[in-house]
Amino acid sequence: MKELLLFKSLLITLSSFAQKEADHWVFGVRVGLNFNNNYPNVFKSQVGSQMEMSRATAVISDKSTGELLFYTDGFTVWNSCHSVMTGGTGLRGVESTIGRGVIQSIIIVPVPATPSQFYLFYLHNNDSISPDFMELYFSLIDMDYDDGLGRVVEVSKNVFVAEELALKITAIPHSNGTDFWLITHGMNTNNFYVHAITQEGVSSPVVIPIGTTYVYEERGQNLSGAIKASPNGKHLAVSTSSSIPRPFELFDFDPATGEITNARSLGDFSTQYGVSFSPDNTKLYLKALNDRDVTHQFDLLEENVADSRVGLYVENPLFPGLGGRPTSSIELAPDGKIYIGGGTSEEKHGVSFEESLKGLVVIHSPNMKGVAANVEEVELPLQEDQLVWISLPNFIQNTFNGLTPANNPNAPCNDEIGIYLYPNPAENYITLEVAERCFSAYTLTFYNTIGQRMGKHFVDQQEFGPIDVQNFKSGLYFAVLEFADGRIVKRFVKL
């Protein structure tokens, strides 16, 4: 086994097995991550992201090489050298008066059958928060210009598409493998608007009335939130940011026709923001408040999806933190994990608000059910002028379809990728299994939360168990695996 550094051990990537459009992330204040290696390297601010604001962002990398192409905050476009792209100023993004509450106002969509060009779609508010709502525009990016650094094509800049929209936007690949669907939602209506993006351009929308109506309220409530597609393109989940509890809705989507059907509520939640599906399309995550938790998982394989809800912070005995702010985005990454913006918990660490904005919350195993999804707060090695905020980049989700980090034969060995402890929580017995590529003999020691040793074993087999824990009192325990070249700690709960 390889020597493990904390940050590397927490953030292992599977980018070599997936499309690479999402290999670079740019978000927050001058923060950037590069998923090209076995973990996401942080850009250094002197040579990295030039964004000074914390509003919503979008970024695109080369789908074959993972090299950064460009990124934007909806007002300015920067190229791969972190310089303003030719023609890359003057875009009509969401104004700063509500910019910090925006998590999904921009998305980048490849131009069908033209690999060097991209549509940059963005929402714009005329009068800050007002009943005028959002307008939708696009600009065309041509990467064949300026020796591959690209340009915003002036004759196709700030092209008006639609108006009276909510503050959320997504795109889904067409089942033909070439075209795309662009999806927005109206205000004071229950209308979805579905545009076809083809070689001929951006079509007029098909209007699909379904689900609840977004009624405008004072201070922009019901305006923001997210529309998120499952990686396989067959479902849509839609959140709505309001201080008044509203339905969190799930829909079916047909990538061949663009139809949205089968609306159902998964329960009422207030302050709904980030949404994400798991890479295997079986779990759904929501960042929102209710009387039980602030981050929620739903199991789409259950007959009653709403009743499958599990809280991942307050209700999670394996997670001692508070999980940062509820008003933040949730995004899948090329490593098959889910990342949550908004920083980490001030209450947990006893740090200042600004210090808490140096980290993210990570769901290490999002395909797993309930608390086995394994939530953790991770501090990023950021410089003084870099801060995480609520928004993470908005990507087309098919990039992440089917990612399973544990099946990556090139992944380093650590507690998330190569070591399995189950069941967890446990009643009477547990089993420990070490992946074949990671196995060597080790010493296993159990401790309780006050450091008392509860048992010790020498293990010379990949699968060790069942291990009797019937005499352990109910609570949290630590299984410490000591190999010749490193130590790994697994947490488990005895019921």
List of the chain residues with pLDDT < 70:
1-18, 37-39, 44-47, 54, 96-101, 126-132, 218-220, 291, 320-326, 347-350, 404-418, 437
Q: Each residue of 368-416: pLDDT tens digit? A: 999 888 888 888 888 888 888 888 999 999 999 988 665 444 455 655 5
Q: Each residue of 268-320: pLDDT tens digit? A: 999 899 999 999 999 999 999 876 788 999 999 999 999 999 999 888 887 76
The predicted pLDDT at position 280 comes to 94
Closest CA to 182 of 210, 162, 209, 154: 162
Assess contact for 184 and 192: CB atoms under 8 A. yes
Partnered with residue 363 across adjacent β-strands are 338, 375
Q: 10 Å Cβ neighbour count for 252?
A: 14
- Which token pair is 268? 């009422």
Partnered with residue 203 across adjacent β-strands are none
Closest CA to 108 of 156, 63, 59, 149: 59
Integer Cα distance of 176 and 257 in angstroms: 10
Structural domain spans, the chain = 6-407, 419-494
Integer Cα distance of 303 and 298 in angstroms: 11
Global pTM reads 0.82
The predicted pLDDT at position 4 comes to 31
Partnered with residue 192 across adjacent β-strands are 185, 208
The predicted pLDDT at position 443 comes to 95
Quick one: CATH architecture of 419-494? Sandwich (2.60)
Provide the 8-state DSSP code for 398: G
Q: Which CATH number applies to 6-407: 3.40.1350.10, 3.40.50.2300, 3.60.15.10, 2.120.10.30?
A: 2.120.10.30
Q: Reduced to 3 states, what is the DSSP secondary structure of residue 483?
A: strand
Instruction: Give Cβ neighbours of residue 176 (< 8 Å, ≥ 6 apart).
Output: 256
Side chain identity at residue 319, one-letter code = F
Integer Cα distance of 39 and 5 in angstroms: 11
Assess contact for 375 and 359: CB atoms under 8 A. no
Integer Cα distance of 314 and 71 in angstroms: 35
Longest dimension (CA), the chain: 74
Side chain identity at residue 477, one-letter code = Y
Cα-based distances in Å from 487 to 5, 95, 287, 443, 484: 11, 49, 33, 10, 8
Closest CA to 237 of 310, 298, 150: 298
